[in-house]
């Protein structure tokens, strides 16, 4: 009997024959039937069979305003009528200039300079290299400041510098021989405190640990890097109020740069345009990607203060130039999409809309928090992590090989919901355009899937 020759079957065969999917054990992938997305509208993904799914992960946290947003579509079409891409090496580009100006205007503190790249990981690489080089070229050079402090369970991307400041063994341990040495601070993971303290009485011991590191080793530390308020890929770990402020104050007190990785938390995800605004923190360097183009095209940016920028100025012969760049740096189509996305924020009052969605999401999630195998529901703004456990009274985790989080996400498809797990933490992060019906479907479908998988 010949194999089916319908278009979907052909696509699935070609996928299994040629594609290597990210973060995917391909031996298992080829045993299943991939969902192939054919189109989308607003908060919905539509597969080749016509099934419609609420995009509960915002297409891996990058889609802000929904799919096929007319203003962003038109901005890209309009830019296509002029030029799709021209290099920023030796040339300037109107869309990249306009977006840089807009980003500098809304960024916290004195982040006046914008360096473009292509992804969150590259934005982090840029920040690390800038911080390292800054201490060699600043007004009073301190070349011994070469190390970076990062958090356990951190994730900053998958290039080698970003992995060096990461802390998720499942992703990173095999590459340790390739990485540079870092200084690790305990993650502020109150549900599973690495210091075995009681969050109600510990006085934020995790912040005290960071302060102690900086007090003891400031002479060798170039920068602290962290995701403000929420450690995304670490499991949607929400930091206790005041933690970020204490870290920022310690950096200032000990003359250490602060790098805020807002790749996942930026552009409204936590309820403010940037997460560090919640605690009035003004980083020296800030990394942006994911939502910067509204979820349309690859784009990233590293924002720097004027003081950092000025340390790189001089004659070419002095070797002070920042020798870093990418072929598609400041791509015109992506920057045009980014400008259009910021226009939507202003026109639609998106941050106010996010405030309304926060309240609705918190109310909808309340029943899930009481489920017997839900250890904790963590939420900051529209970033949600639902931690599944074998025993909620003892917080005993499921054995990793059971892959309960993955099973929940697969089961959710039957309820018209598309979500992704981080181990046994189920992540919800809807786009800002989501309507009441889809929001209810997202949470109820997730709850039903959790019941099916954990009660079995």
Structure tokens at 229: 């308020």
- pLDDT higher than threshold 50 for residue 452: yes
* Domains 35-68+349-454 and 73-348 fall in the same CATH topology: no
- pLDDT tier at 1, thresholds 50, 70, 90: very low
* CB of 358 closer than 8 Å to CB of 211: no
**Counting beta carbons within 10 angstroms of the beta carbon of residue 91, is it exposed (0 to 12), middle (13 to 18) or buried (19 or more)?**
exposed
**pTM confidence score:** 0.97
Q: To which H or E segment does residue 243 belong?
A: helix 243-253
- b/e map of 51-84 (b: 16 or more CB within 10 Å)? ebbbbbbbbebbbbbbbebeebeebbeebeeeee
Total Cβ atoms within 10 A of residue 395: 13
Question: pLDDT of 146-189, one tens digit each?
Answer: 999 999 999 999 999 999 999 999 999 999 999 999 999 999 99
Rounded distance between C-alpha atoms, residue 432 and residue 58, angstroms: 9
Per-residue DSSP letter, 195: T
Measured in degrees and rounded to the nearest 5, phi and psi for residue 104 equal -60, -35
Q: To which H or E segment does residue 124 belong?
A: helix 120-137
Structure tokens at 390: 């074998």
All structural domains of the chain with their residue ranges: 35-68+349-454, 73-348
Rounded distance between C-alpha atoms, residue 27 and residue 29, angstroms: 6
The stretch 335-341 carries a mean pLDDT of 98
- pLDDT higher than threshold 90 for residue 443: yes
- pLDDT higher than threshold 50 for residue 120: yes
- pLDDT higher than threshold 70 for residue 296: yes
- pLDDT score at 455: 86
* CB of 352 closer than 8 Å to CB of 312: no
- pLDDT higher than threshold 60 for residue 94: yes
Q: Looking at the domain 35-68+349-454, which fold is it?
A: 3.90.1150
Specify the 3-state DSSP secondary structure of 313: coil
> What CATH number belongs to 73-348?
3.40.640.10
For the CA atoms of 301, 306, 309, 315, what is the dihedral angle to 10 degrees? 140
Q: Report strand pairing: 237-238 vs 230-231.
A: antiparallel
**Counting beta carbons within 10 angstroms of the beta carbon of residue 14, is it exposed (0 to 12), middle (13 to 18) or buried (19 or more)?**
exposed
Mean pLDDT of the chain: 97
Question: pLDDT of 21-77, one tens digit each?
Answer: 999 999 999 999 999 999 999 999 999 999 999 999 999 999 999 999 999 999 999
Rounded distance between C-alpha atoms, residue 353 and residue 90, angstroms: 41
Rounded distance between C-alpha atoms, residue 137 and residue 251, angstroms: 19
Q: To which H or E segment does residue 388 belong?
A: strand 383-388
């Amino acid at each position: 009997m010949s194999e089916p020759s319908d278009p979907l079957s052909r696509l699935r065969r070609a996928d299994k024959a040629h594609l290597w999917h990210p973060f995917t054990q391909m031996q298992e992938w080829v045993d299943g039937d991939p969902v192939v997305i054919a189109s989308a509208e607003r908060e919905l993904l539509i597969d080749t069979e016509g099934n419609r799914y609420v995009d509960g992960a915002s297409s891996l946290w990058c889609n802000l305003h929904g799919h096929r947003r007319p203003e962003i579509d038109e901005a890209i079409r309009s830019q296509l009528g002029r030029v799709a891409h021209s290099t920023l090496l030796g040339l300037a580009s109107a869309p990249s200039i306009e977006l840089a100006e807009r980003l500098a205007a809304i960024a916290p503190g004195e982040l006046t300079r914008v360096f473009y790249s292509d992804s969150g990981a590259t934005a982090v690489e840029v920040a690390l290299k800038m911080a390292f080089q800054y201490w060699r070229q600043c007004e009073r050079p301190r070349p011994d400041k070469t190390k970076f402090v990062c958090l356990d369970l951190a994730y900053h991307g998958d290039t080698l510098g970003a992995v060096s400041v990461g802390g998720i063994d499942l992703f990173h341990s095999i590459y340790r021989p390739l990485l540079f040495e870092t200084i690790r601070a305990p993650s502020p993971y109150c549900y599973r405190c690495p210091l075995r303290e009681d969050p109600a009485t510990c006085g934020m011991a995790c912040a005290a640990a960071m302060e102690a590191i900086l007090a003891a080793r400031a002479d060798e530390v170039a920068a602290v890097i962290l995701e403000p308020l929420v450690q995304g890929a670490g499991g949607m770990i929400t930091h206790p109020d005041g933690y970020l402020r204490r870290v920022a104050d310690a950096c200032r007190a000990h003359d250490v740069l602060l790098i805020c990785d807002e790749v996942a938390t930026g552009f409204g995800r936590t309820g403010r345009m940037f997460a560090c605004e919640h605690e009035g923190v003004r980083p020296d360097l800030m990394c942006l990607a994911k939502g910067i183009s509204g979820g349309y095209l690859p784009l990233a940016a590293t924002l720097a203060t004027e003081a950092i920028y000025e340390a790189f100025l001089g004659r070419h012969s002095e070797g002070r130039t920042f020798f870093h760049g990418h072929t598609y740096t400041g791509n015109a189509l992506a920057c045009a999409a980014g400008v259009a996305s910021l226009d939507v924020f202003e026109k639609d009052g998106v941050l106010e809309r996010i405030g309304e969605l926060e309240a609705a999401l918190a109310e909808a999630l309340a029943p899930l928090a009481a489920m017997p195998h839900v250890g904790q529901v963590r939420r900051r703004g529209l970033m949600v992590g639902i931690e599944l456990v074998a025993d909620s009274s003892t917080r005993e985790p499921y054995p990793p090989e059971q892959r309960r989080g993955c099973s929940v996400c697969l089961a959710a498809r039957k309820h018209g919901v598309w979500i992704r797990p981080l181990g046994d933490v189920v992540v919800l992060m809807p786009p800002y355009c989501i309507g009441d019906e889809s929001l209810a479907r997202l949470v109820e479908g997730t709850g039903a899937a959790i019941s099916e998988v954990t009660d079995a």
